[in-house]
Amino acid sequence: MLAPVRPAVFVGARLLDGRSQDAVADGMLVTDDNGRIVASGPAATVVAPREADRIDVSGLTILPGIIDCHVHLSLRLEPVAEQIQRSATDLVVRALQTGRDFVEAGVTTVRDAGYTPAGIKRAFATGAYPGPRTQVSCTPLSQTGGHGDGWTPSGAILETQVSDLPSGIADGVDAVRRAARLQIRAGADWIKVMATGGVLSAADSPDASQFTIDEIRAIVEEAAAAGIKGTFAHAEGTAGIKNALRAGITSIEHGDLIDDEGIDLMLERDVPLVPTFNINFALMDEDRVSRGEVPPWAIEKMRYLFNRQQTNFRHAVERGVRVVMGTDSFNGMYPPAELAYMSDFGLGPFRAIQAATSDAAALLGLTDRAGTLEAGKQADLIAVAGDPLAEPGLWRDPARIILVIQGGRIVADRRGA
């Protein structure tokens, strides 16, 4: 049983509200017993209730909780011999473990990008298990032989059957409409579309476009008709990115090989890019490769994409494409490092924070509840050691995230460490 939320006043911190890079040097933030922010600003202007718990966060910087718009709570990088042993129960247990790890790392809200059932978001929402506020997409939609098809050249299918995750393999307009409706029936907040090949799939190339514009448009129409949050496209290859954009997709994930025409379409339609650098560095990690967690075909494809994505991302940023944080993080990965990568590759430290807070909240339809330190918002907060505007590299160090508050409750406290 969760302990009741008590009013609290956080004193002595620098405040970065997710909207402006002008930090409040001597800030105060007040939360109520409903887990919401009552006030935040300079200490001299904020009135602290007498009954509130006083929490000294001197020397720390308080920001909105991190919002990660592309995770996989139920997956992890693992050798094939382990993949074929995983059961539906294993996936559920892993999702609960990963949710706890992510929220304790400061990620208070996520959009799951595939293979997590809607029951996980309900478990986190009730407070029965610690985890981020979660939006799910259930099973990604893929054409036969596409990035979401678990077929391998041996004929083995690397896919765990989960009763409340309907199949996402479909070909043709009528079939993809049905596949989208199955995900919506299963509780999907979003529909994810595999618009190109990918790195971890054995049977395709990231350059390959997958699904026709008409097929993707049918999926977009079904999402709109159902009134769910929207659609997002795994899109690494140049042609597939543009197909998804022309079909009306809500966001582009990865975008590794985007060209100027694709950037033009993103700007014209105001579609954000979710770059996911975190997974790329994980796939190139020598220790993971040596343990067999990254299959040989994935290493080869990642080497092809690695520098291209960084170059193309920088160009998209220079041209004004809106960026939202997503990491493609699995079990055992550390999502906050994405802010450092985005900053390094051209976004800069403040815009990286925006991408992970206010801009991410806008994409997920949560601007009335999350993403800034405003009165009335959920008290989802993190306190970090140091100034992330001056030292964006701090996001790579888990020890620098000192305090995590979700809905007014402290879920991680490293002040004594």
Reported confidence tier of residue 287, pLDDT bands at 50, 70, 90: very high
3-state SS string over the chain? CCCCCCCEEEEEEEECCCCCCCCEEEEEEEECCCCEEEEEEEHHHCCCCCCCEEEECCCEEEEECEEEEEECCCCCCCCHHHHCCCCHHHHHHHHHHHHHHHHHCCEEEEEECCCECHHHHHHHHHCCCCCCEEECCECCEECCCCCCCCECCCCCECCCCCCCCCCCECCCHHHHHHHHHHHHHCCCCEEEEECECCCCCCCCCCCCECCCHHHHHHHHHHHHHHCCCEEEEEECCHHHHHHHHHHCCCEEEECCCCCHHHHHHHHHHCCCEECCHHHHHHHCCHHHHHCCCCCHHHHHHHHHHHHHHHHHHHHHHHHCCCECCCCCECCCCCCCHHHHHHHHHHHCHHHHHHHHCHHHHHHCCCCCCCCCCCCCCECCEEEEECCCCCCHHHHHCHHHEEEEEECCEEEEECCCC
pLDDT per residue as tens digits for the range 128-177: 999 999 999 999 999 999 999 988 778 777 788 889 999 999 999 999 99
pLDDT per residue as tens digits for the range 182-215: 999 999 999 999 999 999 998 899 999 999 999 9
Instruction: Give the rounded percent of residues in the chain with a pLDDT score beyond 70.
Output: 100
CA max distance for the chain: 68
Sorted by sequence, the CB contacts under 8 Å of residue 120 that are 6+ apart come out as 73, 74, 92, 95, 96, 99, 112, 131, 134, 136
- What is 8-65+372-413's CATH number? 2.30.40.10
Contact 165, 186 (CB under 8 A): yes
Report which residue type is found at 410: I
User: Hey, where are the domains in the chain?
Assistant: 8-65+372-413, 66-335
Does the CA dihedral 221-326-162-160 come out positive or negative?
positive
Shared fold status for 8-65+372-413 and 66-335: no
Instruction: Give the rounded percent of residues in the chain with a pLDDT score beyond 90.
Output: 89
Contact 341, 278 (CB under 8 A): yes
- What is 66-335's CATH number? 3.20.20.140
- What's the whole-model pTM score? 0.97
Averaged over 282-309, what is the pLDDT?
Answer: 93
Q: For the ranges 1-10, 291-300, 324-333, 405-414, which has the lowest average pLDDT?
A: 1-10
Higher pLDDT, 67 or 4: 67
Strands 133-135 and 107-112: parallel
